[in-house]
Amino acid sequence: MKTLDDLLGEGVSGRRVLVRADLNVPFDKSNPGVISDDGRIRAVLPTIVALRDAGAAVIVCSHLGRPKGAPDPKFTLAPVAARFGELLGSEVLFAADTVDADAQAKAGALTGGQVLLLENLRFNAGETSKDDAERGAFADKLAAFADAYVDDAFGAVHRKHASVFDVPARLPRYAGGLVLREVEVLRKVTESPEKPYVVVLGGSKVSDKLAVIKALLPKVDQLLVGGGMCFTFLKAQGHEVGTSLLEQDMVATCAELLAEAGGRIVLPVDVVAATEFSADADHVTVDASDIPADRLGLDIGPRSVELFARAVASAKTIFWNGPMGVFELAPFAAGTRGVAEAITKNDGFSVVGGGDSAAAVRTLGLDESAFSHISTGGGASLEYLEGKTLPGIAALEN
- Known binding residue 64? Answer is yes
- Known binding residue 65? Answer is yes
- Known binding residue 117? Answer is no
**CA–CA gap between residue 67 and residue 125 (Å, rounded):** 9
- Known binding residue 210? Answer is no
Amino acid code (one letter) for 293: A
Catalytic residue status for 377: no
Assess contact for 202 and 321: CB atoms under 8 A: yes
| Catalytic residue, candidates 188, 205, 214, 264 | 205
Catalytic residue status for 113: no
Of the candidates 146, 137, 313, 356, the one whose C-alpha atom is nearest the C-alpha of residue 224 is 313
**CA–CA gap between residue 44 and residue 153 (Å, rounded):** 8
Catalytic residue status for 141: no
- Known binding residue 390? Answer is no
Catalytic residue status for 85: no
- Known binding residue 354? Answer is yes
What stretches of 164-279 adopt beta strand conformation (E)? Answer: 173-175, 197-201, 222-225, 265-266, 270-274
- Known binding residue 151? Answer is no
- Known binding residue 66? Answer is yes
- Known binding residue 116? Answer is no
Burial class (CB in 10 A: 0-12, 13-18, 19+), 59: buried
- Known binding residue 176? Answer is no
Of the candidates 154, 165, 155, the one whose C-alpha atom is nearest the C-alpha of residue 130 is 165
**CA–CA gap between residue 183 and residue 154 (Å, rounded):** 9
| Catalytic residue, candidates 126, 301, 355, 392 | 355
- Known binding residue 357? Answer is yes
**CA–CA gap between residue 223 and residue 262 (Å, rounded):** 11
| Catalytic residue, candidates 39, 113, 177, 379 | 379
- Known binding residue 328? Answer is yes
Using alpha carbons only, how large is the chain's radius of gyration in Å?
22
Neighbours of 75 (CB within 10 A): 18
- Known binding residue 63? Answer is yes
Amino acid code (one letter) for 361: V
- Known binding residue 22? Answer is yes
| Catalytic residue, candidates 40, 135, 160, 173 | 40
Please name every residue paired with 27 in a beta bridge, in sequence order, or none if there are none. Answer: 35
Query: Catalytic site residues?
Result: 40, 205, 355, 379
Q: Which residues are annotated as a binding site for (2R)-3-phosphoglycerate?
A: 40, 122, 159
Which residues sit in the known binding site for ATP?
209, 297, 328, 354-357
| Residues making up the binding site | 22-24, 40, 63-66, 122, 159, 209, 297, 328, 354-357
